[in-house]
Structure 1
């Protein structure tokens, strides 16, 4: 088997029919109202080794900070802050985060700073979408990238030195009210909406907890009756999230990544009877310019005469046939008999879809 055939065979066999394994409810769903919240802030990083930015808003921010400490810089004086950079600070506030807990933060330069390596973030307020402050950030940055520059202007950069992280760099100051303890039910939202999966979730919950304990709203949401007491609700949820459910099989899909040549064929894909032939047409253009020299006493000028040769070759194409109700394994075998490359397989699948023979959704990413 050639390397090209082995590649196609490996990719297409990625999703051959396998027994469906049961998943825990916590892996299939997310609880309604229990979610992350994004925070963002604006601040200054100081202590840089001449790699700061020269943006005007950096000087303005520095002046405002100095005025808060009772120091007024003379008008018209440019501080030329080569060791200061203006940055944005972002963080994700997890659900049930309490005041005093710490979260990781990401610090990114918004000016023309060359690097944030060795810098220290000054106290920065992190706000939510409602413009309230939920955390305060400060600390020394950890920067994974670096850059170097020579006197002749040559430079090299590894990764991104203008972005850094501070583990546990922000302290939560305000708690976000969670709807977890409200109401008489807990609602689970499926990560992949499916009517069959929603029905199976309801059946499993009712089987373990009793009839009419769970009911489905639609293909995404399933509600379960739960106790109002918070401590009882936590214990109740710990039982629910570990129940195992057999998810429904996904719809028939073929996913093609034209950039990388990756092809993934779902296990439910089938092909109607069809005959396929696919060949390669190669056009070669070769340029052989010739230099024409005039006679010594002719008084002419040297000229370049173009000489182009065009050749067209077509590889022999072999036809293969798909029978009725072809399975994924038969598709793989038929394609590998021809020895088609990933690009050829893409063309064949697209043509089958246009002909109405491919019983699947064709997705190109």
Structure 2
């Protein structure tokens, strides 16, 4: 155990700790005024997030200390797939028989009393582990023939999981799952033409769909919550009273912050203008309170962490380990990009949270497992390189 800690990758650990620490501070800042006005304890979300951070650190340590080969066992992968499908099917059934359970237009959480579980977060980890497992086994076949035959099954399974998330309807979560799958397929050793075509088609789907809806409005979707969000994205100021206020107030927050911000705790837009500012719009609060500089520091840490994870994947001597790193980096990158794009009006608001910063137990637990896996891979690779070097010297 002590030997494994001696190979700990601080280029991953330090940004991870700084980000979750910044998240706790900003969640308290973004939520305390709103709770105080409502007559509630202003530290409720601070305490909850702090609890989840402690849980996350414990989980990260356990995953880091585990044997990496445990995570590629048939039993674990099958168990994860079955659990993910059961939870997602349950949500679909719940959305049909109990539509009142929808939050912001989607039935995406399972209430277990004191905690809520978001199965989409489990699905992200499931897709990463399953694709790393299956493509590690089929790697030579993917690059030397029978490509479609070996891709068909994994793509269908990932499509079913993504489709179940889309039915909730959670378009943000479904898009993230699709991009994780696409990037991992691209990284699995298939010919570059196949990979580029797949990712390009997937990347073009969202802007193409938005432009089509802009030119050809669909009246039968008028009462759809997701459709209203797209319209609010396209015409935020014209539809300020019909859903566009989120984006408009996000613009105001960013403008108010300037370069240096109004100071920690001094955001105006969090005081009833931005709904639930401690979740998907927490970056707007950071921009208003800490300015462009503060946002740059937070995003700099996040993208440095993503870059380091990719670097660990590039240097890994196992296809399985490489794909795990690429999958984790893809998950974090796509989720961060969707959140940033939603806050600044480049994409419709999808409810996607900012990794490590936004409030949410399911998200921080999923991310902690992912970070634990990458730390485990980095440590294992360092020990193996040291052993090879020592053996070569003798």
Q: TM-score, normalised by structure 1?
A: 0.18
- Per residue, is there more strand in 1 or in 2? 1
- Per residue, is there more helix in 1 or in 2? 2
